[in-house]
Structure 1
Amino acid sequence: MSSTSLATSPTFVNGDVSFWFREVGVPTHRPALPGDVDVDVALVGGGYTALWTAYYLKQAQPDLRIAILEKEFAGFGASGRNGGWLSAEPPGQMRRYAKAHGQEAAIAMQREMFSSVDEVIQVAAEEGIEADIQKDGLLHVATNAAQERRLRERLPSLRAEGWGEDDLIELDRDQLAERVRVAGARGAQWSPHCARIQPAKLVRGLADVVERMGVAVYEGTEVTEIHPRRAVTVHGTVKATYVIRCLEGFTAGLRGHRRVWLPMNSSMIVTEPLPASGWEEIGWRGAELIGDEAHSYCYIQRTTGGRIAIGGRGIPYMFGSHVDQRGETKTATQLQLQTILRQHFPATEGVAIDHTWSGVLGVPRDWCATVHLNERTGLGWAGGYVGHGVTTANLAGRTLRDLILRQHTDLTRLPWVDRTVRGWEPEPLRWLGVRSLYVAYRAADRHENSGLRHTSVIARAADIISGR
């Protein structure tokens, strides 16, 4: 099979939410909102952020009346479509937090991210949520000279942001090969603060847990408008002391929010199970997560079923902040991901693609996640995770708990609380800008793959323009 043609299995599926939900089954919808109701907290959206917030609020104050309002079903969005990285990244946000709030604030935020990885693992164990969790860490792999140089040059700033000697370890080519053999790899950095998960199992398990705790989870209930103390849905109005927006990449679909966060498209493919000979050649015996250092970036996991799931940016943005809710992926994007897969792991050359899907993540204009609560209006939000929401949503849930309960804690003093940023540019500037930037990043990758020994000036210019 050639990487220039798409190799699909007889059972190939495009879209249908995700492979993760294909494994566990798309759930039957819970009942919709029955009409107008009054609650203490209304959570708009049924993903990780809303579920974790509900979980921690109910733990702290069991008599709270909490309603989750979800257009489709819990986990339909990014929570059930992501790459399965429970990771403590991204470091780039910490640099911006440090610039605005000081180095100590950024270090505190980073340490909380480390702790949040273990918090998710602990809660899953305590609540009996089986989500294929295995904490073998994260490998950032350099496959050309420019990428290798970036890894090394970034290390001092990461140390300053709270990444200690045990938090980030440099690996040479041979040390990396002892964990996994990536074709053309020159070295890597390994962090223990990352675990492999099966996203749909985690989000379904968490939804079941909060429902048992007494949280009302209304599915098939689209929220069309949010106002102080109320959320308007297609089935009635929910009055609440607090209305918390937890829509992440779907925020742009809410009336009046089209320019708040950009819905960035990300796509994935997953292979058929690899034969034993393929795994022997790759040498990937653990559950480390793998990311490369390309500007266009990819994220990879080995599933419990012996498959490889790999994701990256295909067509990153649709005009007018529209999204394809069914998650179908264009052939060109599937080919792009298949090519990266074959390049990194030549042993997959004869292995077919079994499923492909897409989803959207929320991107603020400054690429930094935020948590906010306005006591006067009762309106709040959390999100803008820029693709690192599996862990960050847990930290957001605990932070929102403290803000809603009016507790002044270390979490409510973190630098992302009440962070404000301007909205994205109006169309067509938004579409032209995003599409042009990703054309530039791909050109920079080609430039660096041709033998350049330092980061391409194209990528440096794109970073400045994008605000990354």
Structure 2
Amino acid sequence: MDAKVNGNISFWYADIGLPAYRPPLPGDIEADVCIVGAGFTGLWTAYYLKKADPSIRIAVVEKEFAGFGASGRNGGWLSGGFGWSREKYLKTSTRGAVIDMQRAMYGTVNEVISVTEAEGIDADIRRVDNITVATNKPQLDRARAEYEEAKAWEMPADRIAFLSAEEARERINIHNVQGAYVLRGMARVQPAKLVRGLSDTVERLGVPIYEQTTVLGIEKGKVTTNRGTVRAPIIVRATEGFTAGIPGNERLWLPLNSAQIITEPLPQSLWDEIGWNGYELLGDAAHAYCYAQRTREGRITMGGRGVPYRYGSKTDVGGQTQQETIDQLYKILMRLLPQTRNLKIDHAWCGVLGVPRDWCTTAGLDEDSGIAWAGGYVGLGVSSSNLSGRTLRDLILRRDTELTRLPWVNRKVSKWEPEPLRWLGVHSMYQLYRIADEREEAGLQHTSKLAAFADSLTGH
């Protein structure tokens, strides 16, 4: 194996080239809405606000460039999935409202595709299924339990399926596959192309994006930066995995590290051996799960947590990741698709995603301070951020809609513990996950109790 570790942030930018920086904030300005962060959350919010009210003055401030963070580094899953605990939302809501939220999340796939078509954004979007494979009995039991849970929460029957080992192998020739759970109605995307197209669209609508502008503080009516001050009655904190870097938010959302590798393009003979003709989004039912896709030009990306957390909620440097992480991801690739063992790894990168203390995403607007937020997507941001944008639009414009009544809106959770407890908890959890996965791969016939103990450590 030969893997490069470089500072190109992600393969997605190596594919299309890094963008030129937009000008920074020119000094002190005033706006109706100031959005902090030019990733998917901030850009979707700006897009829907400006479409709803062309006269509204919006200023977007960004430390690096639009799409620098997770929006340009993710796995390219436009999933519309619901990967959080329904039971946790149910504690402060109703079953019907949670189902409404689930339905709204699924609707983001069609909504994103509709906007890209209307605005002429080419992001290599392809409608696909999401297949979660099981390669041992405990994984098979968990995949079936997830399938049954989806049915119990009124997932439409045409959106889900459970595959036998033979049916799963016909889709993708995964080594030792035992069965698979399928979610339909999802999409594959080239995320850097999507975020670049969205930022260009927002700018074309008349919203300035001030890059190279570091936010030093957020308070009622004011965003202080190294380039000047933005005064606005409404401020949107759209910083996701970078939220801990803003003073006063150090323990709000934990920046969880996620990394990916990508192979060189596969020859057709190898694709004939592997299959994957449906370009499905691919994951597995391991505790330390992975996420993969077959790209436009015939490569395989493989992602996972790697080294999951940096002490003190630190983030990576320009997407560079550790060799230890690359080795772990390569091991997963070999476990699932040993046919690829002679391929070269062309690129490796990482980024951070936001994790609230209860591992459930939120969006809201504090009426007293005028500060709005959305994020803590726990890895489901490509689709969820679109719903955030539409929800924040309605909250900011004081609309009472179906979106503003969903159970994730204005939901408050406790903060994360101070260090070293955060570091110890997260690293212990993922170490226990790995041991549990190893025991199950070695022949354990039931889900390892270590995984349940790992979940209890952090409330996962």
In structure 1, what is the equivalent of residue 346 of structure 2?
354
**In structure 2, C-alpha distance between the alignment counterparts of 1:408 and 1:39, rounded to whole Å:** 24
Return the TM-score normalized by structure 2.
0.98
2:133 equivalent in structure 1: 141
Q: 2:101 maps to which residue? A: 109
Q: Residue 377 of structure 1 aligns with which residue?
A: 369
| 2:166 is the alignment partner of 1:174 | yes
Please give the residue correspondences for 1:218-297 in structure 2 after superposition, counting only pairs within 5 Å. 218-297=210-289
Is 1:395 aligned to 2:395, yes or no? no
Aligned to 1:309: 301
Is 1:157–2:149 an aligned residue pair?
A: yes
Residue 336 (str. 1) matches residue 343 (str. 2): no
1:424 to 416, 420, 424: 416
**1:355-395 CA-partner distances (Å, limit 9, x unpaired):** 00000000000001101101221111100000000000000
**Matched residue, 2:196:** 204
Distance, in Å, in 2 between the alignment partners of 1:149 and 1:451 is: 14
What is the CA RMSD across the aligned residues, in angstroms? 1.0
Distance 1:31 1:76 in 2: 15
Three-state SS of the structure 2 residue aligned to 1:108 is helix
Residue 129 of structure 1: CA displacement?
Answer: 0.4
Asked if 1:194 is matched to 2:186, the reply is yes
Q: d(CA) in 1 for partners of 2:390 and 2:153?
A: 22
Equivalent residue in structure 1 for 2:78, among 64, 79, 86: 86
Gaps of 5+ in 2: none
Cα distance in 1 between the residues matched to 2:89 and 2:356: 14
Q: SS at 2:159's partner residue? A: coil
Decide whether the 8 Å contact of 1:323 with 1:360 is kept in 2: yes
Is 1:444 the counterpart of 2:453 in the alignment? no
Whole-Å Cα distance in 2 between the matches of residues 425 and 68 of structure 1? Answer: 31
Q: Supply the distance in 1 between the matched residues of 2:454 and 2:191 (Cα, whole angstroms).
A: 32
C-alpha contact 1:93 1:368 (8 A) present in aligned 2: yes
Contact 1:95/1:161, CA 8 A, preserved across alignment: no
Distance 1:117 1:379 in 2: 28
**Once the 2 structures are TM-superposed, how far is the Cα of residue 256 of structure 1 from its aligned partner?**
1.1
Q: Quote how far apart the aligned CAs of 1:13 are.
A: 4.5
Secondary structure, aligned partner of 2:128: coil
Report SS of the residue matched to 2:85: helix
Write the distance in 2 (CA, Å) between the matches of 1:84 and 1:353.
18
**Corresponding residue for residue 3 of structure 1:** none
Indicate yes or no: 2:5 matched with 1:7. no
Q: For each residue in 1:399-434, what CA deviation from the matched residue of structure 2 results, as whole angstroms up to 9, or x when unmatched?
A: 000000000000000000010000000011111111
Q: Distance in 2 between matches of 1:299 and 1:160?
A: 25
Q: Secondary structure at the match of 1:131?
A: coil
1:162 maps to amino acid: E
Q: Retained in 1: the 8 A contact 2:5–2:320?
A: no
Q: Secondary structure in 2 aligned to 1:328?
A: coil
Could you tell me whether the CA contact under 8 Å between 1:81 and 1:358 is conserved in 2? yes
Partner of 2:310: 318
Shift of 1:447: 1.2
Tell me, in whole angstroms, the C-alpha distance in 1 between the residues paired with 2:154 and 2:92: 17
Query: What is the alpha-carbon distance in structure 1 between the residues aligned to residue 369 and residue 92 of structure 2?
Result: 26
Q: Give aligned pairs, total.
A: 460
SS in 2 for 1:432: helix
Letter in 2 for 1:397: G
2:404 aligned with 1:412, yes or no? yes
Paired residue for 1:453? Answer: 445
- Structure 1: stretches of 5+ with no match in the other structure: 1-5
Deviates more, 1:72-81 or 1:184-193: 184-193
SS at 1:390 equivalent: helix
> Within 2, Cα distance between the matches of 1:408 and 1:92?
25
Any conservation in 1 of the 2:75–2:293 contact (CA below 8 Å)?
yes
1:267 Cα deviation (Å)? 0.5
Q: What is the rounded CA distance, in whole Å, between the counterparts of 1:271 and 1:155 in structure 2?
A: 31
Paired with 1:196 and 1:357, the residues of 2 have a C-alpha distance of 19
1:182 partner letter: I
- Report the alpha carbon displacement of residue 287 of structure 1 after superposing the two structures with TM: 1.7
Q: What does residue 113 of structure 2 align with?
A: 121
Which stretch of the first structure deviates more once superposed, 447-456 or 106-115? 447-456
Quick one: distance in 2 between partners of 1:374 and 1:144?
Answer: 47
Q: Distance in 2 between matches of 1:240 and 1:99?
A: 35
Structure 1 counterpart of 2:415, one-letter code: G
- CA drift of 1:94 comes to 2.6
TM-score (norm 1): 0.97
- Alpha-carbon distance between aligned partners in 2 of 1:93 and 1:246, rounded to the nearest angstrom: 23
How much identity, in percent, do the aligned residues show?
54
> Which AA in structure 2 matches 1:7?
D
> Deviation of residue 155 (structure 1)?
2.7
Is 1:41 aligned to 2:33, yes or no? Answer: yes
**Given residue 449 of structure 1, which amino acid in structure 2 is its aligned partner?**
E
Deviates more, 1:125-134 or 1:167-176: 167-176
Following superposition, the deviation at residue 350 of structure 1 comes to 0.5
Deviations 1:143-175 (A, max 9, x none): 110000111123332222231211211111111
Distance 1:203 1:432 in 2: 34
Please state whether the residue corresponding to 2:316 is helix, strand or coil.
coil
Which of the residues 175, 185, 209 maps onto 1:183? 175
